[in-house]
Amino acid sequence: MVVNNARTDITKHPEAVAGAHLNFLTNISHELRTPLAQISGPLEQLQNSDVVLSESERKRLYWIIGLHTSRMIDLVDQLLGSQQAGHPAPAAPLSAADECDESAHPRESESNSGHTAMLPPVRRRCSSYDDELLNKLHGIMEENLEETDFNVHKMCNMMHLSHMHFIRKVKQLTGKKPIDLLKSYRLKRAKDLLRQNSLTVSEIAYKVGYDMPNSFSRAFKKEFGISPSEYLG
């Protein structure tokens, strides 16, 4: 009965079906265009015979190309997986506030104010570029551990990724938003330093990017269920 009713609705409202189909194609086009644009820029630099690039710069450009190629594969895999699962419609979009506001709490849906996220996530293979991305991300967090103003925007720039792609990719690989991943990384490093028992709680707070020891102590207790002082014993 439900299926029959759905079919009746479709036949009664062909304009709505056509509009949804057009919207779906538009969303896919936007999703595919972003990584293609990220690939074409570095590729033009590598093909430009007038520009002399160092070996490290060439490796960086190849890394960016590989990363966004992996993103393209992800999108196609999601599209195929969604069709096989019987979910032709795109998922809810990732809002600009959820994308960039570091104080926002995790929400069920993610959206971008410009266009809709393409499809619900499906099980995917982990590529070597994913491993490289995580290694690079951890290296960047470690290098900037003491910087109190180090945030998601700076992480995106250093990773050479758009905010939307960066947030989605980190959430996909770690299960956490970048801001939550950074916070957890700071606190885990603080825990390591506390184990060494060579610095005070205040010194450790500054070492991991907190400018107020009290804020650090509250965050530490919330993360591990014990205060830094109690952890020191």
Instruction: Identify whether 217 is part of a domain.
Output: yes
Instruction: Identify whether 28 is part of a domain.
Output: no
Determine how many CB atoms are found less than 10 A away from the CB of residue 118: 20
Instruction: Identify whether 93 is part of a domain.
Output: no
Q: Is residue 159 within 8 Å of 139, Cβ to Cβ?
A: no
d(CA 40, CA 46): 10
More confident residue, 42 or 224: 224
Instruction: Identify whether 6 is part of a domain.
Output: no
Alpha carbons within 13 angstroms on the beta-carbon side of residue 86 total 0
142-190 pLDDT, tens per residue? 999 999 999 999 998 888 888 888 898 899 889 999 999 999 999 999 9
67-125 pLDDT, tens per residue? 777 777 777 777 776 655 554 444 433 333 333 333 333 333 333 433 333 333 333 44
**What is the sign of the dihedral through the CA atoms of 88, 178, 139 and 158?**
positive
Which tokens sit at 186? 């700071």
Give residue 214's domain range: 130-233
What's the pLDDT band for 224 if we cut at 50, 70, 90? very high
From residue 105, alpha-carbon distances to 37, 137, 173, 187 in Å are 31, 22, 19, 18
Q: Which of 64, 158, 168 is nearest to 111 (CA)?
A: 168
More confident residue, 84 or 61: 61
Question: What's the total number of domains in the chain?
Answer: 1
Instruction: Identify whether 188 is part of a domain.
Output: yes
Contacts 24+ apart (CB under 8 A), 183-186: 183/219, 183/223, 184/223, 185/138, 185/141, 185/145, 186/141, 186/145, 186/210
6-37 pLDDT, tens per residue? 444 545 666 776 777 677 777 777 777 777 87
Instruction: Identify whether 116 is part of a domain.
Output: no
From residue 129, alpha-carbon distances to 32, 97, 126 in Å are 18, 28, 8
Instruction: Identify whether 64 is part of a domain.
Output: no
Instruction: Identify whether 7 is part of a domain.
Output: no
More confident residue, 51 or 4: 51
Q: Which CATH number goes with the domain that contains 196?
A: 1.10.10.60
